[in-house]
Amino acid sequence: MDEAMTTRIEQQVWQAFPEGAIARVQVLQYGDDPEVEPGQAAMRVFFDWPGRSAGGQAGPKTVHRFVTANAAALERLRDELPRVIRWVEFRPEGQARAASPHDLAYRITDRGRPAPARDEAPDDRTPVMVRLGAVDLATVDTLITAGVVTSRAEGLRWALGRLREHPAWARLQQQARENDELETR
């Protein structure tokens, strides 16, 4: 994403909220945060809150108050930000450490993408969470940048499909059946 587009997106966020509500905006691109996939971007928006200047501690109610007070702006951003922005995370300003999934935050995901109807959702897929090391993540991301797949999830499905095509797969399946037979005796 070029600098001009980054600036336009940041301005769109600043303009959506009342003056003083937002402390800073970060547009994250591939390489800035492990959750951002190649070809995508995300945002981390830090909001000001009452009591921060006096040294107070942000809590879950801090995030809830921000979301409630700014519901219209949040909905507008969900609908109007470019699709390249995969998620937008809102955090209380003043966190001195790096962001972590356990911090206080409100996240807009799947922006502008309506959830599939129940009869359209793929029933034959089971969600699986996996943590990849740097080398494995780089391997999956190479599939994306090479144009083989469009997402990390699709990359892992693709890799498993290639594994099943390998002759050793049949031997692994046979070994698993034999192990099951031994256990049932």
Average pLDDT over residues 77-82: 88
pLDDT score of 98 more than 60: no
Neighbours of 88 (CB within 10 A): 23
pLDDT-based confidence at 110, cuts 50/70/90? low
State residue 116's pLDDT score.
Answer: 47
Coarse DSSP helix, strand, coil percentages of the chain, rounded to the nearest 5 percent: 40, 15, 40
Which amino acid does the sequence have at 36? V
State residue 15's pLDDT score.
Answer: 94
pLDDT score of 87 more than 60: yes
Say if CB 43 and CB 80 are below 8 A apart: no
Lowest mean pLDDT among 51-55, 83-87, 159-163: 51-55
Report pLDDT digits (tens) over 8-26: 999 999 999 999 999 999 9
Shortest CA distance to 146 belongs to which of 161, 132, 158, 164? 158
Is residue 15 helix, strand or coil? helix
Is residue 156 helix, strand or coil? helix
pLDDT-based confidence at 102, cuts 50/70/90? low
Higher per-residue confidence, 52 vs 109: 109
Task: Kindly give, in sequence order, each residue whose CB lies less than 8 Å from that of residue 14, ignoring residues fewer than 6 positions away.
Answer: 22, 25
State residue 91's pLDDT score.
Answer: 92
Average pLDDT over residues 60-85: 90
Q: What is the pTM of this model?
A: 0.68
Under CATH, to which class is 3-109 assigned? alpha beta
pLDDT score of 100 more than 90: no
State residue 45's pLDDT score.
Answer: 95
State residue 16's pLDDT score.
Answer: 94
Maximum separation of any 2 CA atoms in the chain, in Å: 72
Q: Which two tokens stand for residue 43?
A: 């945002």
Parse the chain into domains and list their residue ranges.
3-109, 134-184
Distance CA 106, CA 134 (A): 27
pLDDT score of 152 more than 50: yes
Q: Which two tokens stand for residue 89?
A: 């995370």
Distance CA 46, CA 70 (A): 13
